[in-house]
Structure 1
Amino acid sequence: MEDGTWTEQLTLQGIATTGDAFGFSIALDGKRLLVGAPWDDFLSSPATGNVSPDQGSVFFYEIGSGASVFLGSFDLNHDGLLSPDEWRSIYPTPPKKESAFPLIDSDESGMLDEEELRAVQNAKGVLKTSGIWLDRAEAFVELDTDQDGRVSRAEIEPMWAPGTSSKGIDATWKRLKGGEGIDFPSWIRANSLPPLVAYEKAKALRAERRTLYRMLDSSDESGLVERDEFALFFRSGTRFQVIDAAWRVATGTPKDQPLPGTISLTDFIEAPKLPKSPWK
């Protein structure tokens, strides 16, 4: 996008243009995107038809949430709501008595809308199953990076911590009968998925490593962390053999191979082991 660049933190820093006080500004908060730009880049002032440096347009966008995908997948008649029959169809084996639906239906309309579904997340008690469905839906939206309506074997990997053996992931994928990919309804109805609590921890760790990488690369901002920058993990005076051993592990370099000079962001994030951050 003009006058801005995506960073590893997934934010776009706005840059005010010369002579234009409003400039460009974009902020990303979770799934919400706020865009601001001068009037003359979009529309003139609706009141006067004139433009000025301190006027602009603000646009609000929201990335599809798990609740919206959940609703769209099971809303069989496409009316934007879930009826009791549509709700019961979600269960692999519908219960004899459905007790969750009336509790979720906060406005007692006899139908469920997206806002009511959003409120179910992290629910307990009788709504625990429904809450798990919505939590799974959020995970599906995040993992389906190519947005083809399926989570593939490669896309499910982020549910595990960096450095997790592929054998364990393969075993889980086989148990899930993932094949060419798991579609949304099958994902929601699966008997078991990788623990979502562990997935949240893995996400937090990757985010922490992404920030750490940028801090290490701050000396020259080359986009790569060099061995000397990596040495900042260690106290001054640490033996170079200790640093090299940690560097070898981080870069995944076999003992009989020469050490590389740099490590990429992706390889750093997915490294099986890194030294403790000196900035904690």
Structure 2
Amino acid sequence: MLEILYRDPYLVAINKPAGLLVHRSLIDRHETRFAIQLTRDQIGQKVYPVHRLDKPTSGVLLFALDSDTARCLNTQFTAGQVQKTYRAVVRGHTAESGVIDYPLREELDKMADAHADLDKPAQVALTYYQRLATTELPYPVGRYASARYSLLELQPKTGRKHQLRRHLKHIFHPIVGDTTHGDGKHNSLFREQFDCQRLLLHAHTLQFTHPYSADILNLIAPLSLDFSTLVAKLFAKPVIININNNH
């Protein structure tokens, strides 16, 4: 059963598990389980997607329960009126806070985007981040004698494809577990030392205006047990090693 975070006559929001597709995709033809289908079957009602989360990303996923509500919510998302925050574990010690202002070209898939414009210019992409905690672990990775990580809160101000994963790679702090934009050595360390098989990126909150009541809704998705346990293990009592490096 999916965890339902919110439901009323117009909306339903779930806490999407990592590894679950939002909808059917040409890229993952072998998949048979989708968030749309599972939510529909669980509540016994058709649902309409108004935004998306990548397959490996967990967290708040909002659906409308009718087409008119879907159009209203799509307008809010398109206008940048929806506030989103994410939690992520990234390689290295980041600055305490920062803004990543780096335009992104549209990422195209050979099958799903076969007819897309290949010459489309890079689009404005903006992400704010706040460092919540750091740790340093006694595991050698590459040329370093230890491994450093940061727990971040991320606030994307635009909605480009894979924006957070690409932006964190751009500032040399890739998200742990990212097999496309991440660091394979650190991903391997987490698999071997912590049995972590997932992308450490979670859509934590989603704030928007209810289309009919005009109330401000702030939906919060708790971290899954595996993610929260790992965060507690890494950052609650970090192992600090005094080594002068910048990784």
The two structures have a TM-score, normalised by structure 1, of: 0.22
The two structures have a TM-score, normalised by structure 2, of: 0.24
Greater strand fraction, Structure 1 or Structure 2: 2
Q: Give the structure, 1 or 2, with the largest relative contact order (CA under 8 Å, sep 6 or more).
A: 2
Greater helix fraction, Structure 1 or Structure 2: 1
